[in-house]
């Protein structure tokens, strides 16, 4: 696919900054690589989670005794007004930040005690993250963007297989004819679908999506929701989607509302 060397090192650097996928380490606890690969019936078990941001002169309590249980293979939605802590929760579930207290078990393993190396390995192996602003790298084509996670660390799959997987994913998200485009040549919906393909290239067991449809019109939002549901059915991946759109949330699955630092399931 022809990533030139200079471009490649710039890309690896940017991607590491973006997700801090910077180190990898054999995880000694259970003799498995740091990825969470053993099947567990519960994908997410959060108990009594708290998070306080300390800023000069003020401390902001965002999460306060939050509990959450999500089964493996479920799709759930998270709603709540701007500023209520949705991104904070997603970052904690993705081992991108540390809680003030409480426990987070992903696939049966407590991720809150991870060293930075273990957290990086967990993200690289087990997690797909769809960022609110997509974070596509502007100098790379659609296909190269989907392959970026491979550059971040010790990717074990042979290059040809990952290439094949990336192309298949792009076909499935309807971008098979756009693989050589650069991000600025894509519509908002196409950028997002590229980010969805990138989040799945490592065959994650959990996908976290932070307001993926926030910038899209209704028709494009519906298409993205359909796509995530289809990927869930076909790959068995557990998906958690943050959205402002309650109709969309209900289509997606079990819906939780975040308010005053806690989650409540929204009745159907």
Question: Binding of Mg ion at residue 243 (CB under 5 A)?
Answer: no
Rule CB under 6 A: choose which of 83, 116, 176, 236 binds ligand ADP.
Answer: 83
Give min distance, CB of 28 to Mg ion, in A: 35
Written as six digits, the tokens of 95 are 């081992």
Question: Binding of ligand ADP at residue 77 (CB under 6 A)?
Answer: no
Rule CB under 5 A: choose which of 19, 24, 87, 213 binds Mg ion.
Answer: 87
Question: Binding of Mg ion at residue 213 (CB under 5 A)?
Answer: no
In three-state secondary structure terms, 226 is helix
Q: Taking each helix axis as running N to C, give the angle between helix 188-200 and helix 142-151, from 0 to 180 degrees, rounded to the nearest 10.
A: 30
Rule CB under 6 A: choose which of 33, 34, 85, 212 binds ligand ADP.
Answer: 85
Give min distance, CB of 254 to ligand ADP, in A: 19
Task: Return the one option of Mg ion, ligand ADP, none that residue 141 interacts with (CB less than 5 to 8 A, by type).
Answer: none
Query: What's the gap between Cα 3 and its chain centre?
Result: 25
Cβ nearer to Mg ion, comparing 71 with 214: 214
Task: Return the one option of Mg ion, ligand ADP, none that residue 26 interacts with (CB less than 5 to 8 A, by type).
Answer: none
Question: Binding of ligand ADP at residue 53 (CB under 6 A)?
Answer: yes
Written as six digits, the tokens of 229 are 């549901």
Question: Binding of ligand ADP at residue 246 (CB under 6 A)?
Answer: no
Separation between Cα atoms, residue 90 and residue 105, nearest integer Å = 13
Cβ nearer to ligand ADP, comparing 206 with 242: 242
Q: Is 234 exposed, middle or buried (0-12, 13-18, 19+ CB in 10 A)?
A: exposed
Q: Which of 243, 175, 187, 238 is nearest to 213 (CA)?
A: 243
User: What is the per-residue binding string for ligand ADP in 193-232, x denoting contact by CB under 6 A?
Assistant: ----------------------------------------
> Is 73 in contact with 236 (CB distance < 8 Å)?
yes
Separation between Cα atoms, residue 185 and residue 44, nearest integer Å = 37
Q: Which of 222, 50, 15, 7 is nearest to 129 (CA)?
A: 15
Residues of the chain by 3-state class (helix, strand, coil), percent to 5: 35, 25, 40
Question: Binding of ligand ADP at residue 6 (CB under 6 A)?
Answer: no
Q: Which residues bind Mg ion (CB under 5 A)?
A: 86-87
Q: Which residues bind ligand ADP (CB under 6 A)?
A: 53, 55, 60, 62, 80, 82-88
């Amino acid at each position: 696919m022809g990533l030139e060397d200079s471009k490649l090192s710039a890309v690896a650097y940017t991607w590491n900054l973006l997700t801090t996928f910077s180190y990898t380490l054999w995880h000694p606890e259970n003799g498995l690589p740091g990825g969470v690969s053993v099947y567990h019936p519960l994908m997410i078990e959060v108990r009594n989670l708290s998070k306080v941001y300390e800023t000069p002169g003020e401390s902001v309590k965002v999460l306060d005794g939050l509990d959450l249980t999500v089964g493996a293979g479920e799709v759930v939605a998270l709603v709540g007004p701007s500023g209520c802590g949705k991104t904070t929760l997603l970052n904690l579930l993705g081992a991108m930040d540390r809680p003030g207290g409480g426990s987070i078990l992903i696939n049966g393993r407590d991720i809150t005690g991870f060293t930075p190396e273990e957290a990086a390995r967990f993200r690289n192996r087990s997690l797909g993250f769809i960022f609110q602003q997509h974070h596509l790298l502007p100098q790379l084509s659609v296909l190269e963007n989907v392959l970026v996670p491979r550059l971040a660390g010790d990717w074990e799959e042979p290059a040809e297989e990952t290439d094949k997987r990336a192309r298949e994913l792009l076909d499935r998200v309807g971008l098979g004819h756009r693989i050589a485009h650069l991000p600025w040549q894509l519509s908002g919906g196409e950028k997002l679908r590229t980010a969805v393909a990138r989040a799945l290239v490592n065959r994650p067991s959990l996908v976290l999506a932070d307001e993926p449809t926030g910038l899209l019109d209704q028709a494009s939002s519906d298409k993205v929701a359909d796509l995530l549901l289809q990927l869930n059915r076909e790959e068995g991946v557990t998906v958690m989607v943050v959205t402002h759109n309650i109709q969309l949330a209900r289509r997606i699955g079990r819906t939780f509302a975040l308010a005053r630092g806690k989650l409540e399931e929204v009745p159907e």
